[in-house]
Copies of this chain bind each other. A is one copy, B any other.
């Protein structure tokens, strides 16, 4: 017989998941009800309102994909891209590569625009690419590149895309709730995120918002969306059915309770106050971590404030040090992804961990393990 699984106590300072508030965990464990229960549908309506609040949008098509951020990414891509469509993919890290892979798997013609890993996307280079490819349908980019900690200017990228008649598809997995993501003010067409980063909810849900311009493109598709599970026209019949809600799939009922509660926490504090808190903790963490001799991968003006991507010092076995943080201090931090494997550490101070206490404890633990090597 197996024993029950009791997770060890961890301070989650990797690139996500982050720790989850006890209030959210308690909401998660409330009794399951049916996904078509009138009370549940009412909760989903509230959830939409809360999502509109954090996305800063009035888009009626604002909902949750019943899967992790990666499913949100795939949902965005497969609904927007048809076989043969030209898609400019901005690649400044691992998740740009993943976007490219997904566009290719649905038959899109990728025009990659490459940037050094650790730098933001340069809108000028994207504009030059669009000039050379005026038949581009979509520009896809990552707002906060989780692999490098680089923050790109998606407001300007949206202007550039629209100037050339293309839609903008934005990955806001690591940015939503940590820094401004102004869906309406910046005129972003399709934006997806994840529940387990700055929203500090359990992993497994992907908030998505789609504006009228993108919905029009989706409605006029010549071919069906290749994924039945992720087809937005079917999903919205469940999330936003006007007369009755059409069954599509069984929603992850308990996880949606948790997201509702996590967003309520943000609403209580105020979204702008939450952004400011993430930034304050970064301002406190940065000089201290630099004083330990660690350097950021990304220039200061291009940084995601709540995801500190630091270069591993010469001669350090980074995996050994990460393991020591985990076993001796109960702290999880992230290693490098893809071509940055072994070269960087990723320290997230997101959601409930965007707070001086975990930041100070992380600095203390880092100092100890760096001293011991």
A residues near B (Cβ < 8 Å) are 1-2, 4-10, 12, 14, 16-17, 19-20, 25-35, 37-40, 43, 46, 49-50, 66-71, 73-74, 98, 101-102, 105-106, 194, 196, 202-204, 224-229, 247-255, 257, 260-261, 264, 267-268, 326, 332, 337
Contact B74 A228, beta carbon cutoff 8 Å: yes
What is the distance, in angstroms, from A45's C-beta to the closest C-beta of chain B?
10
Interface centre among A19, A28, A74 (most CB of B within 10 A): A28
Contact B204 A248, beta carbon cutoff 8 Å: no
Other A-B pairs beyond A25-B254, A105-B226, 4, CB < 8 Å? A10-B34, A29-B29, A38-B326, A71-B71
Instruction: Report copies per complex.
Output: 2
- In the complex, A254 Cα to B49 Cα: how many Å? 25
The SS class assigned to the A binding surface is loop
Given contacts A12-B32, A105-B225, A228-B105, contact A249 B68 (CB under 8 A): yes
Chain B residues, Cβ within 8 Å of A251? 68, 203-204
- In the complex, A20 Cα to B326 Cα: how many Å? 33
One of B71, B202, B225, B260 near A32 (C-beta < 8 A): B202
Given contacts A4-B264, A17-B32, contact A252 B12 (CB under 8 A): no
Among residues of B, the one whose C-beta sits closest to the C-beta of A224 is: B105
Contact A203 B35, beta carbon cutoff 8 Å: yes
Chain B residues, Cβ within 8 Å of A268? 1
Given contacts A16-B250, A17-B35, A67-B66, contact A106 B226 (CB under 8 A): yes
- In the complex, A133 Cα to B234 Cα: how many Å? 32
- In the complex, A204 Cα to B67 Cα: how many Å? 8
What is the distance, in angstroms, from A302's C-beta to the closest C-beta of chain B?
24
Contact A49 B204, beta carbon cutoff 8 Å: no
Contact A101 B228, beta carbon cutoff 8 Å: yes
Among residues of B, the one whose C-beta sits closest to the C-beta of A263 is: B2
What is the distance, in angstroms, from A172's C-beta to the closest C-beta of chain B?
15
Contact B249 A69, beta carbon cutoff 8 Å: yes
Contact B229 A226, beta carbon cutoff 8 Å: no
Contact A67 B229, beta carbon cutoff 8 Å: yes
